[in-house]
Amino acid sequence: MPEGHTIHRLAEDCRRLLAGWQVRVSSPQGKFADSAALLDRAVLDGADAHGKHLFLGFEQAGWVHIHLGLIGKVTFDGTVSDTVRLRIQGGRRGEHTLDLRGPAACELITEPEKQAIHARLGPDPLRPGEDPEPAWARISRSRVPVAALLMDQKVLAGVGNVYRAEVLFRHGVDPFLPGRDLTRPVWDAMWADLVELMRAGVRANRIDTVRPEHEPEAMGRPPRQDDHGGEVYVYRRAAMPCLVCGTEVRTQTLAARNLFWCPTCQPPAT
């Protein structure tokens, strides 16, 4: 499932390529045909993202709410296909095409319905001026492992399996530590780190979390080869040596996803 930086990058792309222009909207697959007909020839006048939710604004017609889920994908190549749920064509000369395939959600909603989605999501490190206090309030009262809380979109929006594993490693936090035992200074540092890491993810369109001294060139090691891309400390590195201490990276299922951590760099609290 795409993490928050991908959705914010898509919102930026939509604003850059399509916003401000009258667009053609269709549903080659047919499942969004009725709503597409209402939006066809309207102006796409905005794009917003909150966590893993993308919103495309259409004048007075409302917002298209998109959640990619596990298999959803957005492309801008205009490839002809009858599997496209939503197609938006526009730009100065109509030269840009957005195609949405396989989303978990694609629906036309009103402004109040959009606000209701925001209300049930936790703070998003990528939304300007976002207040992390509601996330801390929930984490600091919980007996649930912090690694599970970071994946709960009601607690913190946009953080997925990669960012949760990496930010816990970068701050030496045992993933099984109950949320209420996490200290405030560590939480503040983690939030600030997520803001910087995820912003970098939007710019690069990939996740990189290793510090300069652990880059391939600095360590004399080959670059990471993985369809996830990006240089990481523990994510998908089970049974491989930790880049910092050499201990074998471990994995275990937590919150229905594979967790990765280094037992030496992230020791249990005493």
pLDDT, tens digit, 9 for 90 and up, residues 5-46: 999 999 999 999 999 999 999 999 999 999 999 999 999 999
How confident is the model at residue 126, as a pLDDT?
A: 98
Q: Is the pLDDT of residue 228 over 80?
A: no
On whether the CB atoms of residues 54 and 73 are closer than 8 A, the answer is no
52 belongs to the catalytic site: yes
Q: Provide the terminal-to-terminal Cα distance of the chain, rounded to the nearest Å.
A: 35
Q: What is the mean pLDDT of the segment spanning 143-167?
A: 97
Residue range 35-62: mean pLDDT, rounded: 96
pLDDT at residue number 143? 97
Residue 78 pLDDT > 90, yes or no? no
Question: Rounded mean pLDDT of the chain?
Answer: 95
Q: pLDDT band at residue 270, thresholds of 50, 70 and 90?
A: confident
Catalytic residue among 3, 130, 166, 231: 3
- CA 239 to CA 211: how far, in whole Å? 21
Tell me what pLDDT residue 227 has: 74
Identify the band that residue 229 occupies on the pLDDT scale cut at 50, 70 and 90: confident
What share of the chain has pLDDT > 90, as a percent?
A: 91
pLDDT at 83: 93
Look at residue 217 and tell me whether its pLDDT is greater than 90.
yes
**Sheet arrangement for strand 84-90:** 24-26, 84-90, 96-101, 73-75
Catalytic residue selected from 15, 206, 224, 257: 257
Query: What values do phi and psi take at 200, rounded to 5?
Result: -65, -35
DSSP state letter for 178: B
pLDDT at 226: 79
Residue 259, SS3 per DSSP: strand
List of residues 6+ apart from 16 with CB closer than 8 A: none
Reported confidence tier of residue 255, pLDDT bands at 50, 70, 90: confident
Average pLDDT over residues 196-217: 95
Burial label for 77, CB within 10 Å (0-12, 13-18, 19+), is: exposed
CA dihedral 20, 25, 29, 34 (to 10 degrees): 120
3 is a catalytic site residue = yes
Averaged pLDDT, 88-113: 96
Q: Does residue 145 carry a pLDDT above 90?
A: yes
Q: Which of 9, 52, 101, 237 is catalytic?
A: 52
Active site residue 2: yes
Task: Please give the pLDDT value at position 219.
Answer: 95
- Say yes or no to pLDDT of 146 above 80: yes
Listing DSSP states for 20-33 in one string gives TEE-EEE-TTSTTH
| CA dihedral for 220, 241, 262, 3, sign (positive or negative) | positive
* Average of per-residue pLDDT across 199-226: 94
Instruction: State yes or no: pLDDT of 171 exceeds 80.
Output: yes
77: pLDDT strictly greater than 90: no
